[in-house]
Amino acid sequence: MQFSALQIATILNGRLEGNPDTRVHVISKIEEAGEGSLSFIANPKYEEFLYRTKASILIINEDLRLTKPVEATLIRVKDAYGSFALLLEKYNHILSEQKSHLSGIQQPSFIAPTAVLGKNIYVGAFSYIGEDAKIGDNVQIYPGSYIGDGVQIGKDSIIFAGVKVYHHCVLGKNVIIHAGTVIGSDGFGFAPQQDGNYKKVPQIGNVVVEDDVEIGANTAIDRATIGSTIIHKGVKLDNLIQIAHNVEIGQNTVIAAQTGISGSTKVGKNCMLGGQVGLVGHIHIADGTRINAQSGLSKSIAEPNAALNGTPAFDYKSSLKSQAIFRNLPELEKRVKELESLIKQLILEKERI
């Protein structure tokens, strides 16, 4: 499959610099691109590759100033990263349409008699769909998946291989769940007893995943003790994330891998949590909060759009200053000792006088 520079510029509403007939047939990283490749630059640290890449077409920001000649045909856009993502989406859509659409029910698989199946669905081999489950139109359930009793899955959703959705959980429309993820496992609820043992607290709630959510591989989202654990519309979760019982994740929040969120914590809308972030239970995170990777948060954040870092997490810029001071402590200690020694010498000299 080939595309010309003119076709790409038209799709992206970009400005061409170079040969409009230049053609590409592969998408590559700029540092690895060869003849016939399409690539992009959005991060300034990769700008050096702009002048030595072998890519045939490059997407760049419209305000990027060139300091040397560039061999590739350029397409200038307002947002190179966003435009490249749009192009990948369209490219992937074309590839998907070229493939035969999966449909039908493969055997062996089990579908309960009371389950309700929509039109044009796909159920892969060795899958299980329980009693009273409701599967919407165009849903794809890949092999080895478990859909429990009373589960609802909205239309156009994709459940990849080995996903487990426990009883009475609800998935919205256009939800994507990647392989190995578990939705609706029991929340971690155990009541300590006088004899030192722990008594399990029944987890009778469910998980509600709203429309347009994507959940990465091997993520676990626990069902609520009472009520629902809620993942709101447009949330994007990475691989290997733990979300505990009764947590609520606000609309369009994104969370990176290995993050853990303890029970009953409420995360606001449009938040960004880096990898390996930890949140304690029963706190509230304001809309637009950004938490840097490997940070630990132990209290609520009331002010919207805060940027946090460290453990315990606090203001991002202040934390960086603190880290710089911490790194310099050995040198500061040395200087303090030198000053103390100098002061002692001055005192002794004064006493002699």
Question: Which active-site residues does the annotation give?
Answer: 245
- In 3-state terms, what secondary structure has residue 253? coil
- The answer to whether the CB of 119 falls within 8 A of the CB of 101 is no
| Cβ neighbours for 41, distance < 8 A, ≥ 6 positions apart | 30, 47, 49, 50, 58, 59, 60, 61, 64, 80
User: Which ranges of 125-247 does DSSP label H, i.e. alpha helix?
Assistant: none
Cα–Cα distance, 347 to 341 (Å, whole number): 10
Across-strand partners of 39?
58
Q: Measured between alpha carbons, how far is 130 from 180 in angstroms, rounded to an integer?
A: 18
Q: Give CA–CA dist 287/263, Å, rounded.
A: 19
- Between CA 14 and CA 262 the distance in angstroms is 45
Residue with tokens 């929340």: 187
Contacts of 9 (CB under 8 A, 6+ apart): 15, 16, 20, 75
First to last CA, the chain: 93
Neighbouring C-beta atoms of residue 178, cutoff 10 Å: 21
H helix or E strand, kind and range, residue 325:
helix 316-327
The C-alpha atoms of residue 30 and residue 22 are separated, in whole angstroms, by 17
Contacts 24+ apart (CB under 8 A), 239-242: 239/178, 240/216, 241/216
Nearest to 20 by CA among 9, 35, 34, 36: 9
